[in-house]
Amino acid sequence: MLGFSTGLFIESAVAVLMALTLGYCIVLNRRLARLHADREALKQMVGDLVTATNLANQAIKELKSTAIEADMTLSSRLEEAERFGIELANHINSGAAMMQRIVRLTNVARQHPVLAPVPVTPENADRMNGKEPNKVRAALEQLSTHVRNRGVAA
């Protein structure tokens, strides 16, 4: 009888181990199915990531080209502003020099009495300078043209 109970005990132990193995196989199968499903989701995620990376690279290229274009535009505008600044400085300097001359002339005029100006006409210009009438007229016409041109330019 001892042989029967030992055999039964061994058979029972093998049956329990087989049941545990079967249960573990079921659990493992479920985990593998989830892993396989996660693998498909991972493939999809990797595909989406590659697409997003390509879009980001394209956007970076466009940003670089826009930055280069903006830099070129800014450089040209800075050069133009620099030219205008130099031109403005020249105008300011010549204006300051002109003001100094006006101040000097004004000071000299205040110190010396002014004589009444004699109007210059072609007749008395000939007498005053002893020049020929045609040359005087030409000089007066040239002077009046110059004065008109300066008035238009101002």
Say if residue 16 is in the same domain as residue 69. Answer: yes
pLDDT number for residue 133: 58
Say if residue 107 is in the same domain as residue 128. Answer: no
Whole-structure pTM over 0.75, yes or no?
no
Residue 125: other Cβ atoms inside 10 A: 19
pLDDT number for residue 106: 84
Say if residue 146 is in the same domain as residue 94. Answer: no
Q: Are 133 and 122 in contact (CB under 8 A)?
A: yes
| Residue 7 forms part of a structural domain | no
pLDDT number for residue 154: 46
- Ranges 40-44, 74-78, 120-124, 128-132, most confident: 74-78
Residues of the domain holding 141: 122-154
pLDDT at residue 41 greater than cutoff 90: no
| Residue 117 forms part of a structural domain | no
pLDDT at residue 152 greater than cutoff 60: no
Summarised one tens digit per residue, pLDDT across range 65-119 is 999 999 999 999 999 999 989 998 998 988 888 889 888 888 887 887 655 555 6
Say if residue 73 is in the same domain as residue 25. Answer: yes
The per-residue pLDDT of the chain, averaged, comes to 82
Say if residue 96 is in the same domain as residue 27. Answer: yes
What is the number of domains present in the chain? 2
pLDDT number for residue 142: 79
Residue 73: other Cβ atoms inside 10 A: 10
Angle at 91 between CA 86 and CA 75, to 5 degrees: 20
Q: Are 120 and 140 in contact (CB under 8 A)?
A: yes
Q: Judge residue 136's burial from the number of C-beta atoms within 10 Å of its C-beta, 0-12 exposed, 13-18 middle, 19 or more buried.
A: buried
| Residue 116 forms part of a structural domain | no
